[in-house]
Structure 1
Amino acid sequence: MAIIENGYLRGQIGNLVNRKVGNKNVVQTKPSDKLKQTQWTQNAATDFGTASAAGAVIRRAFRSLHLDMHDSGMHNRLQQHMQRVLRGYGKRYSGMLNVSDGNIQRLVDFQFNEKCHIHDYLYCDPQVTFESNGTTSISLPSLNAQRNFHIPKNCSHIILKIETVGFNFGFRHFETIGSHEIELPIYSQQGEGIDPQTLVHDVNNTKYNSIVVSLAILYITKYGNHTSLLNSKDLNPVGIIATYNPL
């Protein structure tokens, strides 16, 4: 509302502000609180949303591995990694970037728990091969608990868990293609180890636009019929070891 006072208009009408300056009546436009987004900022916001949604799908897909025992910054770190995936082959089409056209290899070595890098707890490197016929092969060397693993206090058994998951990020869909657990007793093994083996997962490449393989180490203590999991937010090595975009 505006009023006339001593011949001068004072107050606001719509987005116009009237005030007296000396012996003049000044009319100004009220500044808007809304910032107009440029096309660049709109595109950046769209790509950020794409990366964030993809990260959320990956977190859900591998929950059986990380068990929600991760550092507080895991969500943000994964979202940043997904942004790097989207930009893997440039940003020419900013605002329309998607995971299937990005460089999914940039996800390899992502650690779900920053406090526990998988390479500090597993002393060998599984070899993953993605075949054109849709087969995913994971080759493991001979494994011995005392030779190939970090062993925490009170641990009697180690479980090496590997999962292969197919993703269709456009539909925010995932499916576990293969899951394997290998249990290794610590103190009953002498110098011998489990023989080398290859895990084979058959993948329908036309169904997924990304394949991700992750690995986790579970620490178990057994007393008679009682079994306890020793993993915690401070001891939970889980990482992505291989990725592939079949399309």
Structure 2
Amino acid sequence: MAIIKNGFTRGKIYNVTYSVRNGVQISKGLSRKPKYDKSAATIDSATVFGKASNLGFYFRLSMYDAYNDFHDSAMSTRLTGLIVESFKPVLDETNLNFIFKQNSFKRLEGFEFNVKSPIQNYLFAQFMVDYSDNNLVKITIPEMKSPKEFVFPSEIAKCKLVVTCGLFDLENGLYNQTESHLFDIQRTYPTTLIPSQETTFSTQPGCLCIIAISLQFYKTTFAGDVILNNKQFNPSAILSAHITDGPVDTDTRERWDEMDFKTGRQLLLPPPAPVHLLPGSPDNTAA
């Protein structure tokens, strides 16, 4: 059905749809592309992609402090692709649910939020991430020398190293409020020695813990500190993605936010020994 108003046709007549855009009459014929029945494999693939895209949204939301909207245009698509690849090995026999292990999301480690400025171009030190303490994750920043292990861009002398932690209860579809810790790094001449530091975050049993780091360079003005990062320059990456040991305790989730993503019970292995991780260098050796 179509109507004529002010000399323009709006609506559908047979196989043609009429509309108005900026005072111009627009007509569009319906697509004659043949339709095909989707196979079971196609439906399963679409289901996995949809769940990966959904979970990726919450990963990006939780890790916002790490990239502050200064990501490349394909960041969302690249992250969803890695989540899809993380899902494939843990699909159950119905292809509709997942049985996660502690290293199921290991391929996220080294993911760059902005490929135009990889963090590995500025930071060469190996951070230690230790999940062995009871419901704690400790990140150790080793002693660094600039410019050998930490590179300041030209004419920039101040930086805030931001370590961000997010927790995700994939079994019950919940995630917590992200926590971030900041460390000030300042260039001195002729050489800069950055002392070793560490920080600790609380975790919860049976939850995916994602640790991200970012370098926020800035200058000090009369109006305060001005961040110099932008869409073209924002070194930030995922340092660790690990499902913690133990059964999920729903009594600790009262203040957590809900996700649309939810899966079945997870099968977990014993906690790993501390490992050294190089920011920006993905480890795709996980099974």
TM category, shorter: 0.7 to 0.9
Corresponding residue for residue 197 of structure 1: 197
Corresponding residue for residue 58 of structure 1: 59
TM-superposed CA distance for 1:88, in Å, is 3.2
TM-superposed CA distance for 1:202, in Å, is 2.0
Q: Which 5+ residue runs of structure 2 have no aligned equivalent?
A: 1-31, 245-267, 269-287
Confirm whether residue 215 of structure 1 aligns to residue 213 of structure 2: yes
Confirm whether residue 140 of structure 1 aligns to residue 141 of structure 2: yes
TM-superposed CA distance for 1:64, in Å, is 1.5
| Letter of the 2:210 counterpart | V
- Partner of residue 228 from structure 2, selected from 209, 217, 230: 230
| Aligned 8 A contact 1:85 1:102 in 2 | no
Measured against aligned partners, the alpha-carbon deviations of 1:65-114 in whole angstroms (never above 9, x if no partner) come to 11111111111101100001101346754232366687111111111111
| Aligned 8 A contact 1:86 1:98 in 2 | no
Higher RCO (C-alpha 8 Å, min separation 6): 2
**Which deviates more from structure 2 when the two are superposed, residues 140-149 or residues 225-234?**
140-149
TM-superposed CA distance for 1:37, in Å, is 2.0
The structure whose residues are more often helix, as a share, is 1
TM-superposed CA distance for 1:210, in Å, is 0.6
TM-superposed CA distance for 1:200, in Å, is 1.6
Corresponding residue for residue 240 of structure 2: 242
| Letter of the 2:108 counterpart | L
TM-superposed CA distance for 1:131, in Å, is 1.9
TM-score w.r.t. length of structure 1: 0.76
| Letter of the 1:198 counterpart | E
| Aligned-residue identity in percent | 21
* Change in 2 beyond 3 A, CA 1:237/1:32: closer
TM-superposed CA distance for 1:165, in Å, is 0.8
Secondary structure at the counterpart of residue 88 of structure 1: helix
**Which deviates more from structure 2 when the two are superposed, residues 85-94 or residues 56-65?**
85-94
- Quick one: distance in 2 between partners of 1:129 and 1:90? 28
**Which deviates more from structure 2 when the two are superposed, residues 121-130 or residues 168-177?**
168-177
* Change in 2 beyond 3 A, CA 1:52/1:75: same
- Quick one: distance in 2 between partners of 1:173 and 1:43? 24
TM-superposed CA distance for 1:228, in Å, is 1.2
Q: Give the aligned length.
A: 214
TM-score w.r.t. length of structure 2: 0.66
Instruction: Quote the RMSD (CA, aligned, Å).
Output: 2.6
TM-superposed CA distance for 1:32, in Å, is 10
| Letter of the 1:197 counterpart | Q
Q: What is the 5 A alignment of 1:1-247?
A: 33-89=34-90, 92-97=93-98, 103-131=104-132, 133-169=134-170, 173-176=174-177, 178-187=179-188, 191=191, 193-206=193-206, 209-246=207-244, 247=268
Secondary structure at the counterpart of residue 176 of structure 2: strand
Secondary structure at the counterpart of residue 159 of structure 2: strand
Which has the larger Rg? 1
- Quick one: distance in 1 between partners of 2:75 and 2:173? 19
